Structure 1
Amino acid sequence: MIVYEEFHFGKEKHIAFYHPVDFSHFAHLHRSYELLYLKQGGLEVTVNGKAFLMHAGDMVLVLPYEVHSYRDLGGSVCDVAVFSPDYVQEFYSQTVHHFLACPVFRMEPEQIRRLEALLFYDDSNLFLTKAALYETVACVLSQTELKYRKEEDRDLLHRILLFIRQHYREELTLQDLAEELGYSRLYLSRYINRFLKLSFPDLIHEHRVCQAIYLLEHTAMPVSEVAFDCGYSSLRTFNRCFKRVTGKTPREYREEH
């Protein structure tokens, strides 16, 4: 399952941080950078289909619109910062059409202490936080290389996913998307498959199922209402799609969560 996340940092705030334990997260992408520091345990991170093994002390930097996921390998304790490209505009201008050959890297203990003080736990000093971020990206670039990405139009991916997010309850077709964005159906179909390895209908189903998961976990809505609220006119279709994505029926999922 691939989920598109939009981070809303708040007025004049361009960074968010959290501290997960036993951390696993299904495949997702967003417009922001994501920096994770593995303090303890083991973690497998997958970025754009390539898996990397992380040990305590490792860090990973995920670039905007890169599909990524995490799998806990036992006792993972992490610091995570998600920050807007607007925060590091000079770095963004270098990476917008590129990817990191290896996104996993390490920093010196003193550098880590600065990050924890200025980024992962307190971002109240704008200039010190920016300095910590630029020190981090400089460290990344000293340990790996930027490679050119042939597919340049990442903004189009954002527009596609935003359109689906806004209209997933409706009966969407590829023609609707083509008319909204001004591209041919064939081009958009190939584009979505190239970036996300999904068909347009499957992308819609995955977004609907993601919304259904949230409702099943956080509300007492009957399964039938969840189905209709997420854009399914048929409960049978909802059950089939939900199980195909998660491996469980909606009722089984709710019972386990």
Structure 2
Amino acid sequence: MKPIQKQFNVTPSFPFSFVYRDTKTKQRELPDHLHDWYEMVYVHGGRGTFFIDRTFYEMNAGSLFLIPGNTIHRAIPDALDPVTSTAVFFHPILLPLQSLGEPFSYLQSFDRSRLNRTYRLKCSPSLQAALEQSLNEIDRELRASESGVRHAVSLLLQRILLAVHRELGAELRQSSPSPAIGPVWMRDALLHIDEHYSEEIGLHELSRRASVSPAHFSRVFKQLTGMNVTGFIAAKRIIKAKERLLETDLNVAVIAAECGFDNLPHFHRLFKRIVGKTPSAYRRGPER
């Protein structure tokens, strides 16, 4: 199984999507997926596990997950006490660009998540209260759909991002890292894939490094991540290719080779299957 590219059925002039207080089940939860939009997931209650990029996190009340675009992730609700959460999806063009003379950006908390590979924030009681209030107000605005609803939602989103930014400043001064979840050998394998995704690595090498049988490695990897090893490595390569397409002017064939694809037609097929468009179309951006 390869991750799916989540699609958003919204108007291009208002790139925002909102799922309020949704109780998750394994049947209704998306499999491993990725998208270009930014995502916040706030947990109201229940329990579960969140796999993001290369790390497993506990999901419990007061947890906030900050997921930058193009990050593989998958929520796994607890069977007996499933998570109830709110998910906020938005494209950065929804936010103002002006710095107003301050070293501040509404996306700094996501930049921090991407840089440190740390996607979970355990909210303080004050931040929990602020999030609950703002999320409830967004839900009310969207339901009422009065004049100026999009501006109201955009302002509430900005208020949330500012509150999270300030909370992270305090957390960085006095917090300790969240405890890791999952077998040590699995965490080491995910880190190895992350650092060597463009090389020839596969199930047998990874299982040898982990000192477990290939069958056991494959079974546990699929159980925890929802994907097989080949699909996960391919997804990592496609994510890097997306970044290179937007950040450089390199030829598509060069980017494919950099990302570990020695067969250009295969790269094109896989890219379109996961992303939904060809590499050249993705580089051009959304059609006007």
The residue identity in structure 2 corresponding to 1:85 is: P
Task: Select the residue among 124, 127, 131 that pairs with 1:112.
Answer: 131
Task: Select the residue among 52, 56, 62 that pairs with 2:61.
Answer: 56
| Aligned length in residues | 180
Is the 8 Å Cα contact of residues 119 and 132 (structure 1) preserved in structure 2? Answer: no
The residue identity in structure 2 corresponding to 1:104 is: R
**In the superposition, relative to structure 1, how do residues 55 and 141 fare at CA in structure 2: closer, same or farther (>3 Å)?**
same
Q: Quote the residue 2:106 is aligned against.
A: 91
Q: Quote the residue 2:119 is aligned against.
A: 103
2:87 pairs with 1:80: yes
- How high is the TM-score relative to the length of structure 1? 0.55
More strand by share: 1
The residue identity in structure 2 corresponding to 1:131 is: R
2:43 pairs with 1:38: yes
Is the 8 Å Cα contact of residues 15 and 90 (structure 2) preserved in structure 1? Answer: yes
Unaligned runs of 5+ in 2: 98-104, 143-148, 174-193, 196-235, 277-288
Quick one: distance in 1 between partners of 2:141 and 2:260?
Answer: 38
Displacement of 1:6 in angstroms is 4.0
SS at match of 2:270: helix
SS at match of 1:25: coil
* Higher relative contact order, structure no. (Cα contacts within 8 Å, ≥ 6 residues apart): 2
The residue identity in structure 2 corresponding to 1:92 is: L
Identity of paired residues, percent? 12
Q: Quote the residue 1:188 is aligned against.
A: 256
The residue identity in structure 2 corresponding to 1:5 is: K
Q: Quote the residue 1:67 is aligned against.
A: 72
Unaligned runs of 5+ in 1: 162-180, 194-198, 211-257
- How high is the TM-score relative to the length of structure 2? 0.50
Is the 8 Å Cα contact of residues 24 and 77 (structure 2) preserved in structure 1? Answer: yes
Could you give the per-residue CA deviations for residues 97-153 of structure 1, whole angstroms, max 9, x where no partner exists?
9434421113324213322223455363132332223223432454359xxx999xx
**In the superposition, relative to structure 1, how do residues 82 and 95 fare at CA in structure 2: closer, same or farther (>3 Å)?**
closer
Displacement of 1:21 in angstroms is 1.8
Could you give the per-residue CA deviations for residues 192-251 of structure 1, whole angstroms, max 9, x where no partner exists?
67xxxxx7378359649x9xxxxxxxxxxxxxxxxxxxxxxxxxxxxxxxxxxxxxxxxx
**In the superposition, relative to structure 1, how do residues 120 and 160 fare at CA in structure 2: closer, same or farther (>3 Å)?**
farther
Is the 8 Å Cα contact of residues 17 and 121 (structure 1) preserved in structure 2? Answer: no
- CA RMSD in angstroms, aligned pairs only: 3.9
The residue identity in structure 1 corresponding to 2:84 is: V
Is the 8 Å Cα contact of residues 38 and 78 (structure 1) preserved in structure 2? Answer: yes
Q: Quote the residue 1:203 is aligned against.
A: 270
**In the superposition, relative to structure 1, how do residues 44 and 61 fare at CA in structure 2: closer, same or farther (>3 Å)?**
same
